[in-house]
Structure formats: C-alpha cells, structure tokens
Structure 1
Amino acid sequence: MPQNFTENPSALIEATFNQIHAEQMVGLPFINERLRVSAVGFTLFEGDWLGVLLTPWALNLMLLPGPDRHWQAFTVGEKIGLKLPSNDYTFIVGEHQALGQYLACSVRSPVKDIPGQKAGLQLAGDLSRLMTALPAVNVTEVDESRRRLLGGMMKQSAL
C-alpha cells in the first residue's frame, strides 16, 4: 500500500537503499564500489515526490506519494506509463516496508562505467533537472512566427 509523505523522503530513501545494499547487494559482480546510495533532487512535482536515486547498481527516476496524495494500490512489478515534460517514461511499481509503494524508472543499470561518486551525483543532478524541463523550442521558428504576427499587426495599423 502506498505511504503518504508529507516531508521530503530523501533521507528515508537513502537509509532504505543503504540497508538493501548492505544486506542483499554486497559482493555482486555488477556493483560499482566507487558509488554510494544518494537520493538526488527530490521535490514535489504535481503533488508527488519526484527525484533520482543513485545506487552502486543503478540510476533510477523515483516517484513517491506526496502530501495529501492517495495513490491506488498497485501490483508490485506492474508497469505504469507517465508523461513528464521532458518525455514519456515507463515506471515499475516497487515496494518496501519502510517506503510503501513507489514507482521507479531505470535510466541506467548497471552503473559500472560511472567513475566515482562525484560523477554519479553530477549525472543524477542533471537528470533530476532535465526530467521536468520543458522541451526546447527552435528559436528560429518562434522568431519567424512572432515576426509574422507582428508584421501582420503593423500592416493592419498602417491601413
């Protein structure tokens, strides 16, 4: 069942995934020992907590219920399509006793090629900012349509 987070869940996410790392992931061949668990850029987006989770095994977008949000119960492993400003993403329902249900979208797994924590945090921070960024518009197209609009208005006022 989803849990409702009135405060930023970053510390709880980090504690939960540090525990998972210590109890279930240590020594696995795909672990990047140069990385630590970090919850990056979690902020309220349309009422829910959206951010990036960097772990020694993956880089994921994560979504958790925000204040006064009541998600329906999902089936763990169920795929949910979400449209964010930057793109459409497929999230998978996860669940942990400490977090309740959450949605995660794998961006990169494994993460063996990330050289260290500083690079991992930079990548996670960039991703956090980009996932909710509005798509860029070709400036030339905007300028041309503005010129047409203004040009039309100027011609009408000259008459």
Structure 2
Amino acid sequence: MTSFENFGVREDLADGARMECGICWMVYDPAEGDETARIAAGTAFAALPEDWRCPNCDAPKSKFMSIEHGAREQPPCRSVHADPSAWGEMLAAAYRDISDRTMRELPIFNDALSVEAIGFRAHEGGIVGVMVTPWFMNLVVAATNAASQSFPGPGSNLRLRFPSGDFEFTVGEVAAVGAIASCSLLSSMFGFKDMASARATAEAALAALMSPANHLVSYPDAPHIGSIDRRHFLRGVLAKWRA
C-alpha cells in the first residue's frame, strides 16, 4: 500500500524517490524532472532549488511527501455508479485519516475547519464534487471519466469537460479509495473562520462549475481567460464568496 512519510527533504531520501504534493497530489518524478521550471530529467528532489514550487498548485517543497516504492496493495474495487454522496463520504473518511495521522500538527492546517465532502453528484457517468479539508479545497472526480476509461497513472494530467468549460486535473491515489483526479481551488485555507463559510464557498464553486460557459457574464469579476485556465474563474468566484 502506498504510504506517506515526512514532508519535505529527509536525510535518507533516495535520489530517485518520487515526491507527491500534499495539496494537489501532483507527483514529482526525478526521472522526468520539471519541464515547466526547466528542471532537467534526473534531478533528485533534494537537488531542486529552494524556491521551486509545485507546477500544478504552486505549493512549496515543504508540502511534498515521499512515496514508498514497494509493492502496492490494490484498493477495493469501487463502482463509480455507486451513490455519489456515499462515494464522497468514503473519500472524506480517507482524508480524515490522513488529517489525523500526518497533517494536524503542520503549519498549513486550519484548526477551525474539518474534512467534508461537498455536493458530490453524478456527472457524465462519473462522480464530481468538492473536497474541503483544513489544508486545501479541491474539485475531485472519481476514477473513471465520462467514457468509462481508466485514468492515467498518478501524477498525470487529465483534461475534463464541464458545462462551464474544460479543466485540467491531476491524477493521484488515496488509500482505501484508489485513483482520483483533483483540480486545486485553494491551497491555503486560513481565509476561512469556520466550516459554514468554507462550505458556502465550495457550493458556490460547484454552481459555477455546472453553469454553462455562456453564463459566465453573470459573474462580473470573472477574468477573460482560456478554457484550460477556467479554474481561475472558479477561484474568482471563491474570492467573491470569501470577501
């Protein structure tokens, strides 16, 4: 089973060790480097510049976790045709376990918040919703897409279409749930004073996600950006709700 070690660079970290972002689950693989930051293939995580940040959600190196390279225990098979609310709660339970085991003492943890699955629903043969935790807020979809094809491997990017447009997700793996695809909305949760405000913000993001693209004019603060960057539009909605 995949397990997570300490955040950041450890003394015993192997040069070839892959590191997974604790915010959006993007995987840094030394064998591939980071084309966005012009990091050459073969560069160990420990050798990355101190100001290097996650190319997907802009999280710092300190928010990355090492992934054990052992045999993986396959998670129980979960049908995406199951009740969406139940699937969301299953995912929330997995994050509560992560919260209790590895996150609670970290400085990115907002003690005023808890883990909650918001608005999980059926969409195009799959499941989509918002996962709120004390350290991030992500759009999440279940492990098969509308065409019922398997997701690519962890760390891969995946473009999915919604009524508001196309969004880029990062594939990750959560113990006891399996593969998920996440789109980072917020990687710092300290703007929320309580769960009520975080919940309202997540519901606003889902409403924006499911609104047709030609309805974007109803949100005057939305930036005029391309479809692949439409998550920035959702972040604009989030900022409006948090104000």
- Name the TM tier (shorter chain): 0.7 to 0.9
- Give the Cα–Cα distance (whole angstroms) in 2 for the partners of residues 35 and 92 of structure 1: 24
Using structure 2 for the length normalisation, give the TM-score: 0.52
In the other structure, the counterpart of 1:72 is 150
The one-letter code sitting in structure 2 at the alignment partner of 1:48 is: G
Q: Deviations over 1:30-80 (max 9, x none)?
A: 1111111010010001011000000000000000047x9743252111111
Aligned partner (choices 126, 131, 145) of residue 48 of structure 1: 126
Cα separation, 1, equivalents of 2:204 and 2:217: 21
Which of structures 1 and 2 has the larger relative contact order (alpha carbons within 8 angstroms, sep 6+)?
A: 1
Corresponding position of 1:145: none
> Hey, which bits of structure 1, 4+ residues long, moved more than 6 A?
none
Contact 1:48/1:69, CA 8 A, preserved across alignment: no
Q: Does structure 2 conserve the Cα–Cα contact (< 8 Å) formed by 1:40 and 1:52?
A: yes
**Aligned mates of 2:148, 2:98 — CA distance in 1:** 26
Quick one: distance in 1 between partners of 2:204 and 2:163? 15
1:79/1:92 contact within 8 Å kept: yes
Q: Secondary structure of 1:133's partner?
A: coil
Question: What letter is aligned with 1:36?
Answer: S
Q: 1:7 aligns with which of 57, 79, 83?
A: 83
| Structure 1 range deviating more: 128-137 or 50-59 | 128-137
Percent identity between the two aligned chains: 25
Q: Secondary structure at the match of 1:91?
A: strand
Counting matched residue pairs gives 138
Q: Specify the alignment match of 2:44 in structure 1.
A: none
Asked whether the equivalents of residues 4 and 65 of structure 1 are also in contact (C-alpha less than 8 Å), the reply is: no
Alpha-carbon distance in 2 for matches of 1:108, 1:116: 15
Are 1:95 and 2:173 matched, yes or no? yes
Contact 2:140 2:181 (8 Å CA) reproduced: yes
**C-alpha distance 7-61 of structure 1, shift in aligned 2 (>3 A):** same
* Unaligned ranges ≥5, structure 1: 140-159
1:86 aligned to 2:164?
yes
Q: How well do the aligned residues superpose, as a CA RMSD in angstroms?
A: 2.3
- Per residue, is there more strand in 1 or in 2? 1
Kindly indicate whether the alpha-carbon contact (under 8 Å) linking 2:114 and 2:133 is maintained by their aligned counterparts in 1. yes
- TM-score if structure 1 supplies the norm length? 0.78
Shift of the 22–80 alpha-carbon distance from structure 1 to 2, 3 Å rule, reads: same
Return the letter of the residue paired with 2:91: I
More divergent stretch after superposition (4-13 vs 104-113) = 4-13
Q: Partner of 2:205 in structure 1?
A: 127
The whole-number CA distance in structure 1 between the counterparts of 2:100 and 2:187 is 18
